[in-house]
Amino acid sequence: MHDVVRRVDPEIAAVLDAELARQRDQLEMIASENFTSPAVMATMGSTLTNKYAEGYPGKRYYGGCVNVDVAESLARDRATALFGAERANVQPHSGATANLTAFLSFLKPGDKVLGLSLSHGGHLTHGHPVNFSGLLFQAVHYEVDQATETINYDRLREQAKQERPKLLIGGASAYPRAWDFVALRSIADEVGAILLFDMAHIAGLVAGGVHASPVPFCDIVTSTTHKTLRGPRGGLILCKQEHFAAINKMNFPGVQGGPLMHVIAAKAVCFHEAMQESFRDYARRMVANAQVLGASLMERGFRLVSGGTDNHLLLVNVTNKGLTGKEMEELLEKVGITANKNTVPFDQQSPFVTSGVRLGTPALTTRGMGPDQMREIAAIMESAVTARGDDAALAALKGRSSELCRAFPLYPDLA
């Protein structure tokens, strides 16, 4: 595949080669990343990228949509079947545009929204002041409880009763615990709010049956397709029939122009893959790996936010190890582990420094790694902290990470 590019553009071919080598040789632990299948990648690199298809299947503004109509219909039908939803819009280019569509389908600028604070694990698009969601709407935020570092739904209920938001938002990008959809629904009902759940991080866990589904409880569910769901980079909206027309109209022409038909077809492949028993097994292993990694880290004196995990990610507060999140991220890079610094709840450090690192198991689980490898990774992390400043010792630890990577080859047929 890279050779096709090499003949035309050697500089970009070199980037592809280097990135393949990086992904093969590093322990990828960014919680929002994964390794999608060769079938998904082949579909993204197909002739469907050439096609304009503004509109929806059967009702397009362009001729020649016969084949892409089949692809989009398959993607929609599979998304609704996979998640038990009434309707799906598979056109959002990303989770952010899915959320923009959701907001504008139900709200007017200036309306009040209530979402989890970014610094407590929430997402930019849930009302952060620098994002459309905070620029166009009156955003207020809930936080996790200081003692338990989990969401206190009674306190959230009280806050919602005071604030009376028009939209209540659930979902997070750095929250290691399961969500209580019954509580969220009853809070939304009590204050007359629309309930949006952004399941981007946990979509694969929901599809694989290891996290409760938000779909029966929410007015609208948004997602990405590339995190735990392991599909192409893109967005997704699930909703009830009564909201479908408004959401479709807001996604196109309201928010987006031409849909990316190669990505939509690749979403169809991803949904098909996620319907298989092997994906349910994958989802179970993702969570089991996170739990083993968490337990091993705690045995080694690492402090986990909320004391553990119910999902695919861990948030490690590294303050007691004498490090900032930034320093830990850099240290992990030196020993062959890719992760990201992350604020922890009530963080005293700036978002550029932070007190934590976020670790995820989606990508390593895709490689086939299991509990033994998670224990070895926890040991490498502990040794890295002890060996900081000792380049020879860190190089030896990097060798142990490389050994793990070699034992679980990635994309063996890709070159």
Least distance (Å) from ligand DSN to the CB of residue 323?
Answer: 21
Least distance (Å) from ligand DSN to the CB of residue 186?
Answer: 27
For the question of residue 177 being annotated catalytic, the response is no
Query: How far is 115 from 11, CA to CA, in rounded Å?
Result: 43
For the question of residue 233 being annotated catalytic, the response is yes
One-letter-per-residue 3-state SS of 129-149: CCCHHHHCCEEEEECCCCCCC
Marked catalytic residue, from 76, 185, 227, 285: 227
Marked catalytic residue, from 143, 149, 198, 219: 198
- State yes or no: residue 342 binds ligand DSN (CB under 6 A): no
Least distance (Å) from ligand DSN to the CB of residue 13?
Answer: 28
Give phi and psi for 117, each to the nearest 5.
-60, 140
- State yes or no: residue 343 binds ligand DSN (CB under 6 A): no
**Total length of the chain:** 415
- State yes or no: residue 225 binds ligand DSN (CB under 6 A): no
- State yes or no: residue 133 binds ligand DSN (CB under 6 A): no
- The answer to whether residues 114 and 159 touch, using CB atoms and an 8 Å cutoff, is yes
Structure tokens at 386: 């002890």
For the question of residue 198 being annotated catalytic, the response is yes
Query: How far is 35 from 212, CA to CA, in rounded Å?
Result: 24
Side chain identity, residue 184: L
Query: How far is 321 from 205, CA to CA, in rounded Å?
Result: 31
Query: Kindly report the CA angle at 317 between 364 and 156, in degrees rounded to 5?
Result: 100
* Radius of gyration (C-alpha) of the chain in whole angstroms: 22
Instruction: Tell which positions 158-187 bind ligand DSN, by CB under 6 A.
Output: 173
Query: How far is 188 from 219, CA to CA, in rounded Å?
Result: 10
Query: How far is 374 from 361, CA to CA, in rounded Å?
Result: 9
For the question of residue 227 being annotated catalytic, the response is yes
Marked catalytic residue, from 6, 112, 157, 233: 233
Least distance (Å) from ligand DSN to the CB of residue 161?
Answer: 30
Residues 88-127: x/- map of binding to ligand DSN (CB under 6 A)? -------x---------------------------x----
- State yes or no: residue 222 binds ligand DSN (CB under 6 A): no
- For the chain, the 3-state helix, strand and coil shares in percent, each to the nearest 5, are 50, 15, 35
Residues 376-415: x/- map of binding to ligand DSN (CB under 6 A)? ----------------------------------------
Query: How far is 245 from 396, CA to CA, in rounded Å?
Result: 58
Q: Which one, 173 or 289, has the nearer CB to ligand DSN?
A: 173
**Out of 24, 26, 28, 32, the residue judged to bind ligand DSN by CB under 6 A:** 32
Binding site for ligand DSN (CB under 6 A): 32, 95, 123, 173
List, by residue number, the catalytic residues.
Answer: 52, 54, 198, 224, 227, 233
